[in-house]
Structure 1
């Protein structure tokens, strides 16, 4: 499929236009999106991606259309997994809820730029060196293994090398000034934590690109398909974050599903590398006759694994207990982080969420409830919330 330059141009302009629309009409004015707003715009962005895929089917044929949808679904699933890390980073920096949209949009734009650069480099390497498929396959297999091992310490998600250097050598403020990147403190211009959050998100996006780009090249080597599937998977990610925020903790088996998908694509890449082999120490530099996995089978496997993963997570008692406990941690920390706020209504709203979380824990089965109540950190957080709210209530009455 030869893609004319004007099609490339229109596609890029359309993507930039959607990002600009997102900024000027949704993100520029800081606010917390309602569930309805997030749902409508998430559906619209998925609709744009599906319509684009149908156009690829119509003008490029079933092969290219299938590769686009396989790439889009895989990248979308990896993007949802990335939201976990974004949530950890923003929690670590205590980003105000109403300013999280701007951080997410920056992350999406930076991710698109970083992944476009990786796509161009990857396409050039593939055209010059067929053995690069071996490397891509190995990267995906190692990534799958790391997903199965899990993260060592999620709380350190925002404490990377760049951030530590920035805090040590640059003037930074400990407080936010709305969504400003710089503010004036003691007569000096200093960075706000908002800028550090964006640096952390940007650095994380580069690491994500190292995994996601080999994954999609394992499904298609057509640069236009790789670029558009990646771009459409990122568009709407901001709205999706607020739509499934409460469900993120519930998807307890997502990492296993993604590990299986990446391992499958890794094996597919290595099989393809063997089929195109030019390395002299493998079969004397001649291609190896092996099975090549069709795009139809790839698409079926990816959809099947994701469906099983999501259903198992949502139906699992352990998944529900994990979600309830994680949500209790989050709302308790949110209340304590907002302890200096003067907005009585906001304090009461947050305390109502804490009360609701307590009720959700009480509704768990005996085994899961006992496990949640045995969590010393959660117990300590809830006790601190009670003490802080009692002091706040006494102060309000006084």
Structure 2
């Protein structure tokens, strides 16, 4: 049986995570710069190590179920956060955000993502407690999202200006150049909004869309609000440094979207099976649970998530390696 985590552990964990995020934000605000590959690698390694240490504490203080749920949830949210980076790259490129300001933009974007996901988690827990049939809706939504994920031009479409941004461009005075990270500036005595406002709106609305996708996904792994939130925090921590570390590599992970689609599709099916197992809808099996519906274990979920991401990453790197070799051969033949 799943034992409850001590309240003191949950409170201390939340306080420590908030302190880490505040310190990270303060460092960015104090010294905006373009991190080197070494600096970005060390920070990403630090945050990954921190997540693994936390998982170890979950195994020790809680039990194997808590630990496995956190690991599966963290890996799911981490993979979806990497997907988020694709869109951040497009937004930064589209609005030509200077590199030295990108750290601050990303940090604010991550904080927005945490706030939005926190709201969705609170709402999600309340809905689940009072309406178990929501798992049918979550499951169907994730299967649809998985299908949409593999459609052509998925990331490009997400990176396009939405109606809010297009509407603002028509209604406000906007400068052509950035003025640091300021939203407003004064030119010749007249007040103008800067492109930074548009960038933050684009990132904020993108965060909202990803929160809608990611929260049902992790609720397919655990219904613990604490595990759901901490998995999201650890997934988003270090995302800023990962943005600079991966850089052009994101474009090379051509099969990553298929791995993410496989994860979302799998969790969607798992949620539907869980909904059948605890069924209360009167028009489905007379409102009685469907006994033959299998329950997929957390350990199975963890294995599928790791396998999907590993296969997608390795396949992408092999594809890029083969393409580069073919390109080299064509150049060699052409020179002859």
Q: Residues 251 and 314 of structure 1 are in contact (CA less than 8 Å); yes or no, is this contact kept in structure 2? A: yes
* Distance change (3 Å), C-alpha of 1:282 and 1:102: same
Q: Give the SS at the match of 2:173.
A: coil
The alignment covers a number of residue pairs equal to: 330
In structure 2, how many angstroms separate the alpha carbons of the residues matched to 1:23 and 1:257? 31
- Length-normalised TM-score, structure 1: 0.79
Structure-2 change in CA distance of 1:265 and 1:184 (3 Å): same
Give the alignment's TM-score, normalised by structure 2.
0.93
Correspondence 1:268 to 2:232 = no
Tell me which of the two structures has the higher relative contact order, counting C-alpha pairs closer than 8 angstroms and 6 or more residues apart: 2
**Equivalent residue for 1:366?**
330
Question: Could you say which residue in structure 2 is the equivalent of 1:299?
Answer: 302
Aligned CA RMSD, in angstroms, stands at 2.0
Using the TM superposition, give the Cα deviation of residue 362 of structure 1 relative to its aligned residue in structure 2, in angstroms: 9.6
Contact 1:3 1:224 in 2 (8 A): no
Shift of 1:115: 0.3
- Aligned equivalent of 1:195: 197
Aligned with 1:249: secondary structure? helix
The residue aligned with 1:219 is 221
CA offsets, 1:320-360, max 9 Å, x none? 55xxxxxxxxxxxxxxxxxxxxxxxxxxxxxxxxxxxxxxx
| Distance of aligned partners of 1:57 and 1:153 in 2 relative to their CA distance in 1, 3 Å threshold | closer
Q: Say yes or no: does 1:179 pair with 2:143.
A: no
Report the CA distance shift for 1:208/1:7 in structure 2 as closer, same or farther (over 3 A): same
Cross-structure match for 1:41: 43
Q: CA 1:153–1:214 in structure 2 vs 1: closer, same or farther (change >3 Å)?
A: closer
1:67–1:295: 8 Å Cα contact kept in structure 2?
Answer: yes
Q: Distance in 2 between matches of 1:297 and 1:44?
A: 27
Larger radius of gyration: 1
d(CA) in 2 for partners of 1:80 and 1:319? 24
CA deviations 1:2-39 (Å, max 9, x no partner) are 34554343223222211221122234322110001000
Unaligned runs of 5+ in 2: none
Partner Cα separation in structure 1 for residue 277 and residue 184 of structure 2 = 54
| Native 8 Å contact 1:314 1:320 kept in 2 | no
TM alignment of 1:118-197, pairs within 5 A? 118-151=120-153, 154=156, 157-197=159-199
